[in-house]
Amino acid sequence: EIVLTQSPATLSLSPGERATLSCRASQSVGTNLAWYQQKAGQAPRLLIGGASNRATGIPARFSGGGSGTDFSLTISSLEPEDFAVYYCHQHINWPLTFGGGTKVEIK
Partner 1 sequence: EVQLLESGGGLVQPGGSLRLSCAASGFTFSSHPMNWVRQAPGKGLEWVSTIGESGSDTYYADSMKGRFTISRDNSKNTLSLQMNSLRAEDTAVYYCVRRLVLGSRWGTFDYWGQGAPVTVSS
Residues in touch with partner 1 (CB under 8 A): 32, 34, 36, 38, 42-46, 49-50, 55, 87, 89, 91, 94-101
Of 68 and 101, which CB lies nearer to partner 1 in the complex structure?
A: 101
DSSP string, 28-63: --TT-EEEEEE-TTS--EEEEETTTEEPTT--TTEE
Q: CA angle 63-23-27, nearest 5°?
A: 125
Q: How far is the CB of 16 from partner 1 (least distance, A)?
A: 28
Of 47 and 78, which CB lies nearer to partner 1 in the complex structure?
A: 47
Contacts of 43 (CB under 8 A, 6+ apart): none
Q: How far is the CB of 62 from partner 1 (least distance, A)?
A: 15
Q: How far is the CB of 28 from partner 1 (least distance, A)?
A: 16
Q: How far is the CB of 1 from partner 1 (least distance, A)?
A: 9
Q: CA angle 54-60-62, nearest 5°?
A: 65
Of 51 and 75, which CB lies nearer to partner 1 in the complex structure?
A: 51
